[in-house]
Structures are given as structure tokens and as C-alpha cells.
Amino acid sequence: MIKGISHITFIVRDLDRTANFLEGVFEAKEVYSSPTVKYFLLNDLWIALNKGVPLPGRTYNHIAFTIAESDMDEYIKRIEAAGVEIKQGRARNEGEGKSIYFHDFDNHLFELHTGSLYERLNH
């Protein structure tokens, strides 16, 4: 039986640059570092960075984190300070929640979302 997500791994070109991104945008805490790997905790979520060849292009494959709608402006400031572009979101139905989409430096897409699955299904 699956108990939950163990960790998320991203392959990145520059460990330190992505570490600064995770710390600045998500307030992730670095807990381990070597020349080829860095581990972070984002609340209780383990995020691993492995040095390597990143994704060759951008897709809609992404990871979404839940945030409070009242925190959206703060996250937009953090994302802009990190030097990455905020993407135009898709059209949404009323009640689906709001989202911020942005790629990191290695073509990984992130979403910060204010809604839940149950709210979406109820609409």
C-alpha cells in the first residue's frame, strides 16, 4: 500500500543556483549537500537535487503546491526576485482556485494553487 510521496528529485545543471531558488521561493531548508547532490525539506517533503543534464524543453508536466490565496502576492514577489518568468495561467472556472505557474532554470514547471481537489469536484 502506498503511504504517500517519499521525495521529489529534480535533475539540475547548477546545484547552488537551484538551491537559492528553492530557498528563496519556497523557504526550503537544505539538510545535506555534496558536490553532486543536495537535499532539502519543504515542511515534511523531501526534495532532492541531482547534478546532471536538465530537461531539454518545457512541458505542462508539473508539481503543484497548495498556498493560501492571501499569500499569492508574497509568492509572486519571491518568484520575481528569483529571476524566473511567471507564465500566463490557463482559463479557470469560478471556484477552481487560483494558480501561479513558473519554470525554474532547468525547465521544471511549478504551480502554486489556492484550491483543493474537493473544491474543484464540487464545482
**CA separation (Å) from 31 to 18, 28, 42, 63, 86?**
14, 9, 10, 21, 28
Is 111 catalytic? The answer is yes
Query: What's the one-letter identity of residue 75?
Result: Y
Which of these is catalytic: 74, 85, 111, 119? Answer: 111
What one-character-per-residue DSSP string does 16-57 give?
HHHHHHHHHHH--EEEEE-SSEEEEEETTEEEEEEES---SS
Identify whether the C-beta of residue 65 lies closer than 8 Å to the C-beta of residue 26.
yes
Q: Are strands 86-87 and 99-103 parallel, antiparallel or unpaired?
A: antiparallel
Catalytic center residues: 111
